[in-house]
Structures are given as structure tokens and as C-alpha cells.
């Protein structure tokens, strides 16, 4: 049985302030939890229903909860079998990666999580974010990655400073850029994706050596940031 105080504590981890204080975050659902259990991430505690417990052998601390108790601590509309409390790792992207994805001001958790998943699909393990990007450990981000956060290194930094130390070619998604179909594939470089509504900010533009663009055929005003990322990566990687 889950105590009231423990239930409140877990609920508090749905908020960034408490996650930062405790150095913890939450992962929900059998598929993603299975991936976390096989990863290098440190599990602090597992809250699971009997159906999950009966099908999993683990050395981690497991608290059996009812479906109603799990629903109370879940961030999902419908809780599903298991929730784990995980220790936040140190965020540090690699400085010597041949391909890096840079995100400038991405705000939507679903977009961010999907971009991480897309990067993982294309084998990109290095993602560098502006300091105002949505938090990696936001529950909606974690869920949207479908486990890909485990295989990517994500860092938050001052982008102009980071770019000033970079020696690789920089490609940026801009309205006046070169048609992505004519760019060709690259073996190394940095690909910059801007904010969902404002695009890449003016203080980043001087660092972009190769403006690129997805040619519009129809009348749609814009593309979702994660969709644009997928299209760009599919053409140049």
C-alpha cells in the first residue's frame, strides 16, 4: 500500500522545481521502464501493479500498488502498470561528435521528445540545447522520446559561446536557405533547428554557414519543428 505522504512526494516530482531539488525524475509505462532497467540510469524505486511484478524479476526496490494508487501518482490520463523514480544523470554532450543537433528555444515538450526520438533513429547521440529549451526530464518529454533519451547525450548551454568554440560546418533551417534536396549528404557538421514559431534567433544567425530550407509546394504556413527535423535529417545524413 502506498502511504499518503509518499504519494504526495511522487506527485511533487511532476514539477521541475522539485525534480531539480531532488535530482530525480519519473518514467512511466512498461516499454520505457524496461529500457531504463537495462540502461546505465540509476533506479531509486519502482511502483508497480501485481501484473507487472509477476512478469519482471529485478533487484531494484519495488513497491506494489493498486491500479488506483498508480493512477494517483501518474502523469498519464491512464496509468499503465509501472512508474519508476530515476536519478538524474549529469548532462554533458560530447564536444568531439562528428554530427550534433542544436536546438534553439524549443518549447513544446512533445516536439522536444519527438526530436530526440528522431535523432536516435538517425544515429545522432549529441544534442545541444539553448538554456531556455524545455527541460529534458519533463514527463511529457520523457514519454515522447519512447526511450530514446537513454541513448542520447543532451546538454544545455549558452549557444553563442558554444558556437564560438566550434570548428565544424553549421547548417541552419531558415526560410531563405538552400533547398535541402540540393545540399547532399554530410559526414560531419552541426544542424540547427529553431523555435517552433520564431525560428533561429538573430544572435545565432552569424554562426550559420549553410542555410538550408525545406521547399514548400502547397499552402501550409509552416512545419512542426519535429517534422522539419525528420525531413532535414533524412536528406543530409
Average pLDDT, rounded, for the chain: 94
Task: Determine if residue 8 is left, alpha or beta; phi over 0 gives left, psi from -120 to 50 gives alpha, anything else beta.
Answer: alpha
Q: Which of the four pLDDT bands, split at 50, 70 and 90, describes residue 107?
A: very high
Q: Which of the four pLDDT bands, split at 50, 70 and 90, describes residue 97?
A: confident
pLDDT tens-place string over residues 2-54: 889 999 999 999 999 999 999 999 999 999 999 999 999 999 999 999 999 99
Domains of the chain plus CATH, in order, are: 4-87 (3.30.1330.30), 99-236 (3.40.1280.10)
| Whole-number percent of the chain with pLDDT over 90 | 87
* Spatial separation of the C-alpha atoms in residues 105 and 195, rounded to whole Å: 5
**Tell me, what's the pLDDT at 125?**
93
Concatenated DSSP letters of 193-208: E-BTTTBS-TTTGGG-
Given a cut of 80, whether residue 91 has pLDDT beyond it is: no
Question: What would you report as the CA-atom Rg of the chain, rounded to the nearest whole angstrom?
Answer: 20
pLDDT tens-place string over residues 156-182: 999 999 999 999 999 999 989 999 999
* Spatial separation of the C-alpha atoms in residues 96 and 82, rounded to whole Å: 37
Model pTM?
0.93
Kindly report the backbone phi and psi dihedral angles of residue 48, in degrees, each rounded to the nearest multiple of 5, phi listed first.
-145, 155
Picking from 94, 74, 90, 93, the residue whose alpha carbon sits closest to that of residue 33 is 74
Given a cut of 70, whether residue 94 has pLDDT beyond it is: no
* Spatial separation of the C-alpha atoms in residues 70 and 74, rounded to whole Å: 6
Amino acid at each position: 500500500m502506498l502511504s499518503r505522504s509518499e504519494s504526495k512526494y511522487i506527485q511533487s516530482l511532476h514539477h521541475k522545481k522539485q525534480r531539480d531539488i531532488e535530482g530525480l525524475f519519473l518514467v512511466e509505462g512498461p516499454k520505457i521502464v524496461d529500457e531504463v532497467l537495462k540502461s546505465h540510469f540509476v533506479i531509486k524505486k519502482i511502483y508497480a501493479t501485481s501484473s507487472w511484478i509477476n512478469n519482471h524479476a529485478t533487484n531494484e526496490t519495488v513497491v506494489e500498488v493498486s491500479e488506483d494508487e498508480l493512477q494517483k501518482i501518474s502523469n498519464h490520463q491512464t496509468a499503465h502498470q509501472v512508474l519508476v523514480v530515476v536519478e538524474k544523470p549529469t548532462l554533458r554532450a560530447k564536444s568531439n561528435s562528428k554530427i550534433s543537433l542544436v536546438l534553439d528555444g524549443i518549447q513544446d515538450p512533445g516536439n522536444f521528445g519527438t526530436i530526440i526520438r528522431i535523432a536516435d533513429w538517425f544515429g545522432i547521440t549529441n544534442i545541444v540545447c539553448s538554456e531556455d529549451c524545455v527541460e529534458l526530464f519533463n514527463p511529457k518529454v520523457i514519454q515522447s522520446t519512447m526511450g530514446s533519451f537513454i541513448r542520447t547525450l543532451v546538454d544545455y548551454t549558452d549557444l553563442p559561446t558554444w558556437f564560438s568554440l566550434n570548428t565544424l560546418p553549421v547548417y541552419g533551417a531558415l526560410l531563405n536557405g538552400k533547398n535541402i534536396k540540393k545540399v547532399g549528404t554530410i559526414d560531419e557538421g552541426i544542424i540547427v533547428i529553431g523555435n517552433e514559431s520564431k525560428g533561429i534567433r538573430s544572435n545565432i544567425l552569424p554562426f550559420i554557414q549553410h542555410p538550408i530550407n525545406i521547399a514548400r509546394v502547397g499552402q501550409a504556413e509552416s512545419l512542426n519543428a519535429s517534422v522539419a527535423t525528420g525531413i532535414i535529417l533524412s536528406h543530409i545524413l
